[in-house]
Amino acid sequence: MADTMIPIGKFFFKWRNLTFPMIVIGIYVGITPSTVLASGQSYLAISLVILGVLIRMSVVGFFNVARDGDNKTAHADELFTRGMFGISRNSLYLGNLTTYFGIFLLHGAPLALVAGFAIFLFIYYAIIFSEEAYLSEKFSDSFTTYCENVPRLLPKLGNWTKATSGMAFSWKRAVYSEYNVIGQSILVVALAFWYKS
């Protein structure tokens, strides 16, 4: 399975800035959106988008993380195991998936929610497989121990105190590092409402 997932993950890691918006647009245009959402669905969708952005901000608020790798390929000079990485090995991707879930929930059609989230879940798992292969080779036993103590995606909240002990959180860095994500999220939500109107 990893042999298949790794090249897919490498492809999407390199081309995600182009392919991800195309997937979202394709689903929004290809599947008729619901103009009438269930009671509270819009609020829940927007809350999930905000939560996803906040998760990402909480990651970079503890660490200045290089997110584009080296020449659009996985790269790490050190193994981050503290901060948000102490409760989820892929906390940035957890934030992204939460945001995408909210975006597709806002669409309103169950097919868009299921198909959109399934596509991105598959893509992110492929990216994770490719990154884990790289990290395992580079950090060997340290990475193995890290994997034993911290889950791949869903957060282990019981690790929070230990993972953040003695660390300083910078809201300035969090906002500065994620201003483009914040802006894009606002734009996507606004366009979703406009498109459905």
Q: Indicate the pLDDT class of residue 72, thresholds 50, 70 and 90.
A: low
CA distances from 76 to 21, 27, 65, 71, 146 (A): 26, 33, 9, 12, 15
Q: Which domain holds residue 175?
A: 2-196
User: What domain count does the chain have?
Assistant: 1
For residue 37, the domain's CATH number is 1.20.120.1630
What average pLDDT does this structure show over 102-126? 96
Task: State CA 87 to chain mean position distance.
Answer: 15
| Cα–Cα distance measured from residue 69 to residue 1, given in angstroms and rounded to the nearest whole number | 24
Which tens digits make up the pLDDT trace of 1-33?
A: 667 899 999 999 999 999 999 999 999 999 998
pLDDT value at residue 68: 60
pLDDT value at residue 34: 83
Half-sphere exposure (Cβ direction) of 164: Cα atoms closer than 13 Å: 18
Full-model pTM:
0.93
Q: Provide the percentage of residues in the chain whose pLDDT is more than 70.
A: 95
